[in-house]
Amino acid sequence: MFGKRADGWLVKDIDPIVSMSPYFMPMRCDAQVMLEHELDYESLARYIVRKGEEGYKISFMDIIIAAYVRTIAEIPMLNRFIANKRIYTRNELCVSFVVLQNLPDGTQEENTVKVKYDPHDTIFDVAARNQKEIKGASVGQANNNTLKIVKLLKSPIVANFAVGLARLLDRYGLIPKVLLDASPFHTGMFFTNVASIGLPAVKHHIYNFGTTSLFVSMGSNVRRLEMGKGGKIKRSRKIPLGIVADERICPGLAYSKVLAHFFECMKEPERLELPPEQVRFDEGHTYAAPGVKIKKRRFRRFLRLVKLRSSKSDNDDISPMVG
């Protein structure tokens, strides 16, 4: 409430036209823009095989998510969202995606997980975080926080009341942090691999509920005829992506830089093997490390400051702490 939320900070330095866009387009379905992109299957597949020979297990999904994490680390403006017609920057870097859960009876059903990342993560860090969550969510006994909440909403009466209340609380930034962590709709990017069920890439809508500003879908491989060197026609395979973004979070020029950087990182995953030279933060706000709560970090800094001041009062000759 009053511009404060458990999942982000209010953006203060913003273009007036951009700040007015949520009033012209109050819902995400009003402001979603859609585009298509294709990745070269052959070059990425060779990269995955090379890394596998080196002992690293990397998937196409890992490459896409690692490219997103790197883009946020260098152009943090993409990690914004709209709530109650105001623009916020997230206090964490996270992605939600769907995992197929294997049930004891041999059937499968969808499970959704949300993974938190560090902006300094390499592609190997991203892959390790993803594999850990996928392993826990794909087994038959998986029962994460998202599923626990969904199971409580089986009754239509309970579901209507709970969702209505959640929408109201979310509008004014009053949803508890524990519920925000369990919600896959409160995330920077929602990713789905529909190729795993044999579908082409789709341009999936952005949910009006929650804070998701970007939805990326990866579809089944497609074959193309391309002009090669010397004017020869060659066959190639592409990985189609369907991308839907909330245009209100930043100016169009910034979006063009963001997407160009995102596509370049996916095209050359080798550049993701090292941490970024410099991590940039939106208006100076830093992210909480995965698994560490923002409030606890602030409280620890407060305790250190109090301890330092008390030690200074006991000994005036003590030198000030650096850093």
33 in any annotated domain:
yes
Task: Using the predicted structure, report yes or no on whether residue 300 has a pLDDT greater than 90.
Answer: no
3 in any annotated domain:
no
91-140 confidence digits (pLDDT tens): 999 999 988 777 677 677 778 899 999 999 999 999 999 999 888 776 54
321 in any annotated domain:
yes
Residue 76 · residue 281 · CB < 8 Å? yes
Residue 264's DSSP bridge partners are none
What is residue 316's predicted lDDT score, i.e. its pLDDT?
44
Q: How far apart are CA 177 and CA 69, in angstroms?
A: 22
Asked whether residue 98 falls in the same domain as residue 212, the answer is yes
The encoded tokens of residue 97 equal 């995606």
1 in any annotated domain:
no
Domain total of the chain: 2
127 in any annotated domain:
yes
Report the percent of the chain where pLDDT is more than 70: 82
67-86 confidence digits (pLDDT tens): 999 999 999 999 999 999 99
Q: How confident is the model at residue 179 (pLDDT cuts 50, 70, 90)?
A: confident
Which stretch of DSSP H or E encloses residue 156? Answer: helix 156-171
- Average pLDDT of the segment spanning 300-307: 46
- Average pLDDT of the segment spanning 44-61: 95
274 in any annotated domain:
yes
Asked whether residue 305 falls in the same domain as residue 205, the answer is no
- What are the percentages of helix, strand and coil residues in the chain, rounded to 5? 45, 20, 35
Task: Using the predicted structure, report yes or no on whether residue 294 has a pLDDT greater than 70.
Answer: no
Asked whether residue 188 falls in the same domain as residue 316, the answer is no
Asked whether residue 171 falls in the same domain as residue 182, the answer is yes
State the DSSP string of 133-150.
Answer: HHHHHHSTT---HHHHHH
What's the CATH number where 188 sits? 3.30.559.10
Asked whether residue 260 falls in the same domain as residue 129, the answer is yes
Asked whether residue 314 falls in the same domain as residue 263, the answer is no
Q: Residue 66 sits in which domain range?
A: 8-290
What is residue 301's predicted lDDT score, i.e. its pLDDT?
45
Asked whether residue 248 falls in the same domain as residue 308, the answer is no
Length of the chain: 323
The encoded tokens of residue 255 equal 């979006």
Q: How confident is the model at residue 246 (pLDDT cuts 50, 70, 90)?
A: very high
Q: What is the DSSP letter of 290?
A: T
Q: How confident is the model at residue 291 (pLDDT cuts 50, 70, 90)?
A: low
2 in any annotated domain:
no
Residue 171 · residue 182 · CB < 8 Å? no
Which has more confidence, 315 or 56?
A: 56
Residue 261 · residue 71 · CB < 8 Å? yes
Asked whether residue 199 falls in the same domain as residue 71, the answer is yes
User: Position of tokens 């709530």?
Assistant: 83
Task: Using the predicted structure, report yes or no on whether residue 262 has a pLDDT greater than 70.
Answer: yes
Residue 89 · residue 8 · CB < 8 Å? yes
Asked whether residue 208 falls in the same domain as residue 249, the answer is yes
Asked whether residue 308 falls in the same domain as residue 284, the answer is no
Asked whether residue 275 falls in the same domain as residue 297, the answer is no
253 in any annotated domain:
yes
206-222 confidence digits (pLDDT tens): 999 999 999 999 999 99
State the DSSP string of 29-63.
Answer: HHHEEEEEEEEEHHHHHHHHHHHHHTT----HHHH
Asked whether residue 276 falls in the same domain as residue 319, the answer is no
